[in-house]
Amino acid sequence: MGTVDFDFGDETVIVTGGSAGIGRAIALGFGAAGATVINADVREEPKMDDEDVPTHERIAASGGTAEYAEADAAEPDELASVVEAARDFGGVDVMVNNAAVQHSESFLDVDQGAFDTLLGTNVRGYFFGTQVAARDMIERGDPGCVVNTASISSAVAQHDQVQYDATKGAIEMITKGTALELAEHGIRVNAIAPGQIATEFSEGWSEEARAAAGEGGDGDGGFIKPVPLGRAGRPEDNAGAALFLASEAASYVTGELVFVDGGWTAI
């Protein structure tokens, strides 16, 4: 297959939840493509046992420009502060709403506290993350784009995941609705929808949910039905899709969900 070299030189990218997993892979991808990257996360250190270098330091070590900004994506004021800080680099050009929390539990047992936590990060964070970035782009007269991290859960229900699925379904409609409203300003909004991603997808699942999903190292990625491509995804599998959606190659693409799931939703 052919290769693609993205060039985001002179552009500033904010990635929420960029310290680990998919967010880290996306941030590193933009950094490698020449962008100035701001990792907005509640923690600076990576979560993985085999990683000990913060995302912004990894980018800087490779010759790029990056910063870490402590921010809770569930708090609109903190997101607004990160967007304001991006003006030191010319202003946000790409807003990647990626931070998320996951909670697996039987629908009958979910309490308000757990549900509100999911809503705060997975819904409020994406809604207001898009809003503060779009307002800044419009004020500067420099339209950019937004890339959200949705999920296969945006379209497919899963056992013990009603509360999580509901928030990811909301991200799909936030993506489509804001794409519609912001089109007049030249701002595009799209989303990637990852499937099972190795090392992090099942974090937060209950043992019952894992059993119901068939998790057990059978080579199909842990789901009852197989992944057509025969493996679980890697965080970096999502980076290419995110960079594409943020690039000029996708200049006529808005309001879309791109499933990065090895074909799982195609079955």
In this structure, of 93-102, 200-209, 234-243, 247-256, the range with the lowest mean pLDDT score is 200-209
Task: Report the predicted TM-score, pTM, of the whole model to 2 decimal places.
Answer: 0.91
Specify the amino acid at residue 220: D
244: left (phi over 0), alpha (psi -120 to 50) or beta: alpha
Q: Please tell me what DSSP assigns to residue 29.
A: H
Q: What mean pLDDT comes out for the span 238-266?
A: 97
Specify the amino acid at residue 163: Q
Q: Residue 245 is encoded by which pair of tokens?
A: 């959606």
Q: What mean pLDDT comes out for the span 216-234?
A: 68
Q: Pick 155 or 208 by higher pLDDT.
A: 155
Res 60 pLDDT > 70: yes
What per-residue string of b and e applies to 208-223 under the rule 16 or more CB within 10 Å gives b? ebbebbebeeeebbbb
Residue 31's contacts (CB-CB under 8 Å, 6 or more residues apart) are: 37, 58, 59, 62, 64, 65, 66
- Reported as a pLDDT band with limits 50, 70 and 90, residue 250 is very high
> How high is the pLDDT of residue 223?
55
Residue 224's contacts (CB-CB under 8 Å, 6 or more residues apart) are: 213, 214
> How high is the pLDDT of residue 194?
96
**Which helix (H) or strand (E) element contains residue 57?**
helix 55-61
How many angstroms separate the Cα of 195 from the Cα of each of 122, 150, 171, 211, 233? Answer: 17, 10, 15, 18, 7
> How high is the pLDDT of residue 15?
98
Q: What mean pLDDT comes out for the span 242-247?
A: 98
How far out from the chain centre does Cα 19 lie?
12
Handedness of CA 159, 101, 253, 134 (dihedral sign): positive
> How high is the pLDDT of residue 219?
41
Dihedral angle at the C-alpha atoms of 176, 90, 6, 25, nearest 10 degrees?
A: -70
- Reported as a pLDDT band with limits 50, 70 and 90, residue 49 is low
Res 221 pLDDT > 50: no
Q: What mean pLDDT comes out for the span 68-96?
A: 98
Residue 93's contacts (CB-CB under 8 Å, 6 or more residues apart) are: 8, 11, 12, 13, 35, 142, 144, 145
- Reported as a pLDDT band with limits 50, 70 and 90, residue 158 is confident
Average pLDDT across the chain, whole number: 91
Domain ranges of the chain: 12-201+234-266
- Reported as a pLDDT band with limits 50, 70 and 90, residue 217 is very low
* Domain at 12-201+234-266, CATH homologous superfamily: NAD(P)-binding Rossmann-like Domain (3.40.50.720)
Tens digit of pLDDT for each residue in 133-154? 999 999 999 999 999 999 999 9
> How high is the pLDDT of residue 226?
86
Task: Tell me how far apart the alpha carbons of residues 232 and 152 are, in angstroms, rounded to a whole number.
Answer: 13
Catalytic (active-site) positions: 151, 164, 168
Res 178 pLDDT > 60: yes
Dihedral angle at the C-alpha atoms of 257, 68, 140, 35, nearest 10 degrees?
A: -70
